[in-house]
């Protein structure tokens, strides 16, 4: 079956190949979302978008200060940092939304939010998308895992049936098309459980439905990554984890394959854990850790100067 001849037996309205990201709705109960607008502009650029992932206000601010144009709120990292728990569906919609608001208040760059499975049925999915849009997320990722979900690079995950996956994404798209100014990042985890061809079918189906960005989780080889980008025309995202299932390619290699976004979900929290363990070992030995930010640098990062200037305005 050639591209454009995808048969989807779920009463879909296909949009065909899309040359650009759809515009924000002109009307509705939602205000225009600067984050979504900024992300649309970024996706119109030809170069790969390197996207470190954040988990709190501090990590998000460091990403922005380093000059990166966007970030992603990682569900794995938020579950670990906020709760000290694994990414297995234990963190709630309310906790993720609360963490997201803190992140969004700390930066001006667009942030994509991890929406997991949408936290329930179709009505829950719509509410999740609407809540993330009101909070100011530029996009929301919705996946096709069975709830409770788990990290895409771990054992024991499963995906819902095709019809259910399509229904879930349609609920997310309804929320967007009803006025929520937010992009929809559609994810499939079918590669690990049902094989590459099923994962590619779902990606084509999600594109036909109108998803703005596509994410095939955990391709095992470079050839699989290349096949994914050949089969779809919407912007695609790669997910790079040290020790994960997907080959860790360079930004140049990813761009050559056709990816538009390269996400690094655990780079910052992994580096933070390693640094904290080293610092704790030094303290255990009775010495001050040497590899730490200076006090003045910390004051600058969190904005003490700006705070003092505000107090002294009058």
Residue 24 lies in a domain: no
CATH number of the domain to which 86 belongs: 3.20.20.60
> Contact at 8 Å (CB) between 166 and 209?
yes
Distance, CA of 219 to CA of 225 (rounded, Å): 6
Residue 17 lies in a domain: no
- The string of pLDDT tens digits covering residues 78-119 is 999 999 999 898 999 999 999 999 999 999 999 999 999 999
| Distance, first Cα to last Cα, the chain | 70
- Backbone φ and ψ for 237, nearest 5 degrees, come out as -120, 135
Distance, CA of 311 to CA of 299 (rounded, Å): 16
Exposure string of 42-57, with b = 16+ CB inside 10 Å and e = fewer, is bbeeeebbbbbbbbbb
Count of domains observed in the chain: 1
- The string of pLDDT tens digits covering residues 144-162 is 999 866 554 556 678 999 9
Q: What is the pLDDT of residue 21?
A: 53
Distance, CA of 169 to CA of 238 (rounded, Å): 20
Residue 118 lies in a domain: yes
> Contact at 8 Å (CB) between 96 and 127?
no
Sort 245 into a burial class: Cβ within 10 Å, 0-12 / 13-18 / 19+. Answer: middle
- The residue segments making up the domain with residue 41 are 34-265
Residue 6 lies in a domain: no
Helix, strand, or coil (residue 98):
helix
Residue 310 lies in a domain: no
Residue 88 lies in a domain: yes
- The string of pLDDT tens digits covering residues 158-209 is 899 999 999 999 999 999 999 999 999 999 999 999 999 999 999 999 999 9
Q: What is the pLDDT of residue 18?
A: 40
pTM metric for this prediction: 0.89
Q: Is 170 left (phi over 0), alpha (psi -120 to 50) or beta?
A: alpha
């Amino acid at each position: 079956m050639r591209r454009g001849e995808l048969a989807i037996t779920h009463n879909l309205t296909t949009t065909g190949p899309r040359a650009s990201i759809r515009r924000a709705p002109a009307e509705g109960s939602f205000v225009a979302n600067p984050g979504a607008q900024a992300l649309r502009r970024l996706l119109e650029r030809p170069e790969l978008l390197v996207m470190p992932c954040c988990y709190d206000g501090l990590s998000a601010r460091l990403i922005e200060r380093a000059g990166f144009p966007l970030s992603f709120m990682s569900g794995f990292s938020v579950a670990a940092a906020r709760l000290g728990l694994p990414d297995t569906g234990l963190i709630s919609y309310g906790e993720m939304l609360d963490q997201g608001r803190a992140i969004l208040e700390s930066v001006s760059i667009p942030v994509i939010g991890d929406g997991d499975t949408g936290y329930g049925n179709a009505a829950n999915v719509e509410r999740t998308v609407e809540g993330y849009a009101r909070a100011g997320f530029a996009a929301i990722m919705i996946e096709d895992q069975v709830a409770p979900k788990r990290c895409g690079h771990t054992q024991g995950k499963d995906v819902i049936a095709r019809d259910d996956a399509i229904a879930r994404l349609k609920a997310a798209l309804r929320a967007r098309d009803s006025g929520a100014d937010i992009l929809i990042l559609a994810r499939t985890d079918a590669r690990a459980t049902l094989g590459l061809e099923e994962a590619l079918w779902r990606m084509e189906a999600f594109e036909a439905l109108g998803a703005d960005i596509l994410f095939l989780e955990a391709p095992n080889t470079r050839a699989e990554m290349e096949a994914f980008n050949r089969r779809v025309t919407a912007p695609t995202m790669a997910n790079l984890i040290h020790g994960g299932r997907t080959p860790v390619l360079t930004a140049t290699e990813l761009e050559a394959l056709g990816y538009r976004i390269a996400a690094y979900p655990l780079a910052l929290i992994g580096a933070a854990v390693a640094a904290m363990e080293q610092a704790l070992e030094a303290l255990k030995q009775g010495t001050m850790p040497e590899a730490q930010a200076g006090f003045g640098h910390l004051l600058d990062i969190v904005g003490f100067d700006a705070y003092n200037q505000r107090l002294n305005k009058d």
